[in-house]
Structure 1
Amino acid sequence: MANLKALAKDTAIYGLSSIIGRFLNYLLVPIYTYVINAGSGGYGVVTNMYAYTALLLVILTYGMETTFFRFANKSGEDSGKVYSTILTSVLATSALFFILVLVFLDPISSAMGYPEHPDYIWVMAATVALDAFQSIPFAYLRFRKRPYRFAALKLLFILMSIGLNLLYFVILPKLGLNPFGIYDNGIQVGFVFYINLFCTGFITFLFYGEYKDARSGFDWSLMKRMLGYSWPILILGIAGVLNQSASQIIYPLVRDGEEGVRELGIYGACIKIAMIMAMITQAFRYAYEPIVFAGAKDRDSKEMYGKAMKFFIIFTLLAFLCVIGFLDVLKYIIGESYREGLRVVPIVMAAEIMMGIYFNLSFWYKLIDQTLWGALFSGAGCLALFAVNFIFIPKIGYMACAWAGVAGYGIAMLLSYFVGQKKYPIAYPLKDIAIYVIAAAVIYCAMQLTSKFLGTIPQLAVNCVLIALFCALIVKRDLPLSDLPVIGKHFRKSC
């Protein structure tokens, strides 16, 4: 129970920084989608480039975040030496990657479809190299239980990024200013990447305290053991990120021409609305991962894993209903020329819920040091995703991308559950989980049905009532008001 309370506290802090950060980052979506018309394909370029960035980030960290938590909490290991060795390794590989990109810049630019913009490629490479290096100090902050510094650095990055994007895309054009001739060829989508590089580089310099803690040098024998643990996690990570971003990489290859880039921009803009699930999962991961490895030997750890799974599903379902219930308001996040793709939102959110469940299920093979299983599960899911994309994108366009995510995560989730119950059985409260899933499905169907007959305002009112009913179910079954912090004492007195 103490672990659950620590999980809730840390998730709240990490979640606040993640949710506020993502919410503030959403300000970039209307900036881009209102300034860059869907027909230009500019936002499709941004979507495509960031998909490559996500994949490269996983490759350049090669599972060292999870490996750090595993080895830093192992008895007999020096956590300081683990941190120092991993930090040195990731720094070296990130620098090597950037140098290789510079050497082969022209052929890489041509292969990616941007022969006229090699600057996109080297800027992306520099940014992802710095991001990979940053991931280890950020993991170190989580290990040291310093969520406030973690949150402050994350939010600072977001605020800087928003400020500079507002300056370039909105403020300076409105004032009619053209410093250094930056608008001689109009507003350029490449500045999205330049701003990101500047902000990432600035945050990298702020880890001076964490760099000082890496005093133990590099231990090659330790590194070999950690690589033996991490390489399946790397495969798992590649498969996992491909489940998230492969569609955005594949789409321009399957759907050639300007129309493909335009459609990709629409899809990329609309899935931003669905990314609240990614926020919740990320916040949960930041708090949950250190607690799982630190408490693996506790007698009640498996019970805690089961309860954590249940509450994760409960609140992601609630988030799903809130987004769908207020989609008529949330749609104004993106420009009007992109809104034709809003039908992907519930499908992408369902896929993100499956991804979160899969993450929760993934700890059994990490705790018994059989991470190869994770690579196999994610690989199977990834193959399904590729198959759906290549077969159905030519037929149904970006809707195939949304359904491919469901197929990929669904397969990985089911495989991990059934194999895990044999290798490391955990008594998940399946009956309770099923009740919430069915309730959420019924409410979703009711929202969709009533939307055909009601106007926007009456529909929002009905949706509020339906969401309130789901909240009442949560309170009735699993979260009585008397147990809530601060206000709970008032309900206990009244009982």
Structure 2
Amino acid sequence: MAKDIKRLGKETLIYGTSTVLARLLNFCLVPFYTYYLQPAQYGAIATVFAAIALLSVVFLFGLDQSYLRFASEAENKHKVFRQCFYGVLANALVLGGLLYIFAPEVSLWWGLGENFGLFQLAAAILFLDVLNMIAFTKLRLERRAWYFAGVRAFSIVINVALNVFFLAVLHRGPNSILWANIGASLASLIVLTPVWWGELKGHKPFAFDWTLQKEMWSFAWPFVPAGVASLLVSVIDKPILVHLVGTEQVGIYQANFKIGVFMMLLVSMFDQAWRPFFLAHAKDNDAKDTFAKVLSFFFALGSWFLLGISFLMPDLIQSNLFGNFHLIGPDYWGGLSIIPLIVTGYFFYGLYINFMVGPVITKKTRVLMWITLLGAAASITTNLTLVPHIGILGAGWAVAVSYAVMAAALFTFTQKVYPIPYEYKKLAVMLLVCLATVGIARYFNGAVWAKITLLTLYPGWMYLFLRRTLPQTD
């Protein structure tokens, strides 16, 4: 068992590293975009990618999960792959064709007017990405983590290089961002050729086993509403903002929203390690006490990250440390005020990940779809209520509120089905210390020296309250 857990940890590190690399390289494009695109252009691109994220769930239709489920138990895994691949291919051809034909109508409905060419390019991205996804899923099933991470890294590098080439060298404008994604997705599909073509060659094309297809689609379809619900929380703000304040404000919002990637990296890395950890220790006698301590440590570290990014990033963005170059172009500084709200939202998402122990261990994961729908409803309601009055700041509040609602709902459910004795007093004290730190910083009018001093002292304060919770070692 120890050997299996060690291998799981190694694979988690590999997958996690590829995820971190992806997010960091994509973040590197943000300052680049803010210097080569006007806010309205960047806003239009951000809105299209929000649509791509939602539509990808429908294009894939949960067949990646279906493949994992059926191939893991099937004697003829090759047949399952072919059925899944052809199912996704047929679905993507139909939906991609419809999106291409009705792109003008979709563009109007999405709030982008006559920019329907963006959605026609989006159809190509979606088609290529879902085919890649099936090949990636096969690599995951076969536990070929290095191949998986290598192809992802290669695709990201190609995407960044094409973005720079199209925008900085050829000056082709915002459409070239989508062309860069098409090129990267195509490059990925080519590199993955040994994975998918090795399964297809020598067999009759589109030779469907209709009985197996029916079983796979029946298993897959529940993942569609669950996936859409999950994504709505993070992307629904873009089309709402387009309709309420226009694409220029969406561009400003998106550029500053991306600063939250640093907090999201912490949450993502924790998520990669947390799920296998709590599953491995679920049967320990002191499992619940351990899980309670994990939340305390996450709260301490996460709140430090939250304060650090909120305190320092706006000053760093506007500083002259890099000469005439800024992390975000001056045209986008009007959205700096949303950064603390976005980071706070991701902090609440980290709490949500902590509380996921309940439904996973009790195998009552269906509740997660309803909780994400609740989060989406909170996001839509907050956006519609606040954005007309305070602009993109209202969208920032919507992010914080939606993730807070999800965390609270999941906490309530977890305590009902799998009660954990969280260290409430220590959590309350840490919350007070965090709020006091914010108050002191505001008292000094946000002076940089005061914020750096407070952040330097913060771990020491947390240690004083957590030292008695440190795990005992033999």
Q: Paired residue for 2:373?
A: 379
Per-residue CA deviation, residues 76-115 of structure 1 (Å, 9 max, x unaligned), is 8876666554444333322221122223233333433445
In structure 1, how many angstroms separate the alpha carbons of the residues matched to 2:138 and 2:277? 16
Distance 2:370 2:415 in 1: 16
- Higher-RCO chain (CA-CA 8 Å, sequence separation at least 6): 1
Report the CA distance shift for 1:299/1:370 in structure 2 as closer, same or farther (over 3 A).
closer
| Gap change, CA 1:82 and 1:362, over 3 Å in 2 | farther
- Do 1:7 and 1:288's aligned partners in 2 also have CA atoms closer than 8 Å? no
Give the letter for the 1:275 counterpart.
V
1:177 maps to none
Structure 1 position 317, deviation (Å): 3.3
Tell me which amino acid in the other structure corresponds to 1:466. Answer: L
Equivalent position of 2:312 in the other structure: 326
Distance, in Å, in 1 between the alignment partners of 2:351 and 2:198 is 35
Aligned mates of 2:145, 2:270 — CA distance in 1? 13
Report the counterpart of residue 427 of structure 2 in structure 1. 434
Provide closer, same or farther for how the CA distance between residues 464 and 393 of structure 1 changes in structure 2, counting only shifts above 3 A: closer
Q: In structure 2, what is the equivalent of residue 58 of structure 1?
A: 57
* 1:422 CA drift (Å): 3.2
Identify which of 145, 155, 158 aligns with 1:157.
155
Q: Look up the SS of the partner of 2:283 in the other structure.
A: coil
Q: Is the 8 A contact 1:45 1:261 kept in 2?
A: yes
**1:94–1:192 CA distance, 2 compared to 1 (3 A):** same
Give the corresponding residue for 2:407: 413
* Aligned-partner Cα distance in 2 for 1:392–1:198: 39
Name stretches of at least 5 consecutive residues in structure 2 with no aligned partner.
319-325
How far is the alpha carbon of 1:376 from its aligned partner?
1.8
Following superposition, the deviation at residue 403 of structure 1 comes to 1.5
Equivalent position SS for 2:236: helix
The equivalent of 2:321 in structure 1 is none
The change in CA–CA distance for 1:246 and 1:235 in structure 2 (over 3 A counts) is same
Aligned-pair distance for 1:443?
6.4
Partner of 1:34: 35
Structure 1 residue 18 corresponds to structure 2 residue 19: yes
Name which of structure 1's ranges 209-218 and 142-151 shifts more when overlaid on structure 2: 209-218
CA gap of 1:196–1:407, structure 2 versus 1, over 3 A, is same
Q: Which moved more, 1:142-151 or 1:64-73?
A: 64-73
Alpha-carbon distance in structure 1 between the residues aligned to 2:209 and 2:354: 32
User: What letter matches 1:104 in structure 2?
Assistant: F
Q: Residue 466 in 1 paired to residue 467 in 2?
A: no
Which residue does 1:100 correspond to in 2?
A: 98
- Letter matched to residue 159 of structure 1: V
Alignment of 1:177-256 (within 5 A): 183=171, 187-211=172-196, 214=199, 221=211, 224-225=214-215, 227-255=217-245
C-alpha distance in 1 between matches for 2:282 and 2:446 = 54
Q: TM-score, normalised by structure 1?
A: 0.78
Instruction: Give, in angstroms, the shift of residue 119 of structure 1.
Output: 2.2
In 2, the alpha carbon distance for the partners of 1:27 and 1:356 equals 23
Amino acid corresponding to residue 174 of structure 2 in structure 1: V
**Paired residues of 2:33 and 2:42 also in contact (CA < 8 A):** yes
Q: Which residue of 2 aligns with 1:358?
A: 352
Name the structure 2 match of 1:148: 146
Give the whole-Å Cα distance in 1 for the aligned partners of 2:138 and 2:273: 13
- The structural deviation recorded for 1:398 is 0.9
Provide the C-alpha distance between the structure 2 equivalents of 1:296 and 1:17, rounded to a whole number of angstroms. Answer: 23
Match of 2:256 in 1: 270
Q: In the TM superposition, what is the alpha-carbon distance from 1:161 to its structure 2 partner?
A: 1.9
Report the residue type matching 1:28 in the other structure: L
Any conservation in 2 of the 1:14–1:283 contact (CA below 8 Å)?
no
Q: Which residue of 2 aligns with 1:399?
A: 393
| 1:43 pairs with 2:27 | no
Partner of 1:122: 120
What CA distance in whole angstroms lies between the structure 2 residues aligned with 1:197 and 1:397? 33
* One-letter amino acid matched to 2:248: R
Which of 283, 288, 294 is matched with 1:299 structurally? 283
What is the distance in 2 between the residues matched to 1:416 and 1:61?
A: 27
Distance in 1, matches of 2:70 and 2:284, equals 22
RMSD: 3.9
The verdict on how the C-alpha distance between 1:229 and 1:8 changes in structure 2, with shifts beyond 3 A counting, is same
Provide closer, same or farther for how the CA distance between residues 453 and 166 of structure 1 changes in structure 2, counting only shifts above 3 A: closer
Per the alignment, do residues 156 and 113 of structure 1 end up closer, same or farther by CA in structure 2, a change over 3 Å counting? same
SS at match of 2:174: coil
Q: Which secondary structure state, in structure 2, belongs to the residue aligned with residue 188 of structure 1?
A: coil
- CA gap 1:42/1:69 in 2 versus in 1, 3 angstroms: same
What aligned pairs does 1:78-97 form with structure 2 within 5 A after superposition? 85-97=83-95
Alpha-carbon distance in structure 2 between the residues aligned to 1:307 and 1:140? 36
Aligned to 2:445: 452
Hey, what does 1:176 align to over in structure 2? none
* Amino acid of the structure 2 residue aligned with 1:322: G
Specify whether residues 453 and 25 from structure 1 end up closer, same or farther in structure 2 by C-alpha distance, changes over 3 A only. Answer: closer
> Equivalents in 1 of 2:434, 2:120: separation in Å?
46
* Aligned CA distance change for structure 1 residues 360 and 297 (closer, same or farther; 3 Å): closer
CA–CA distance in structure 2, aligned partners of residues 369 and 92 of structure 1: 33
Supply the distance in 1 between the matched residues of 2:50 and 2:65 (Cα, whole angstroms). Answer: 22
Segments of structure 1 that go 5 or more residues without pairing to the other structure are 173-181, 484-491
Distance of aligned partners of 1:229 and 1:340 in 2 relative to their CA distance in 1, 3 Å threshold: same
- CA deviations over 1:451-494 (Å, ceiling 9, x no partner): 5163x3x24641441354367569846678x98xxxxxxxx9xx
Partners of 2:280 and 2:75 lie apart in 1 by 16
Instruction: Out of 203-212 and 358-367, give the one that drifted further.
Output: 358-367
CA distance in 2, matches of 1:317, 1:4: 30
Q: TM-score, normalised by structure 2?
A: 0.81
Look up the equivalent residue of 1:241 and give its one-letter code: L
Tell me how far apart the structure 2 counterparts of residues 353 and 125 of structure 1 sit (CA, whole Å). Answer: 34
Give a deviation string over 1:228-287, Cα, whole Å, max 9, x none: 5544432222122111010111111123xxxx2221111111011012233344445556
Q: Alpha-carbon deviations, 1:311-364, whole Å to 9, x = none?
A: 655544343233224312255421112112111111111212223433454465
Identity of aligned residues (%): 24
Q: Could you tell me how far apart the structure 2 residues matched to 1:64 and 1:9 are?
A: 27
282 and 72 in structure 1: CA distance in 2 versus 1, 3 angstrom threshold: farther
Verify the 8 A CA contact 2:374 2:405 in the aligned structure 1.
yes
Q: Distance in 1 between the 2:365 and 2:216 partners?
A: 12
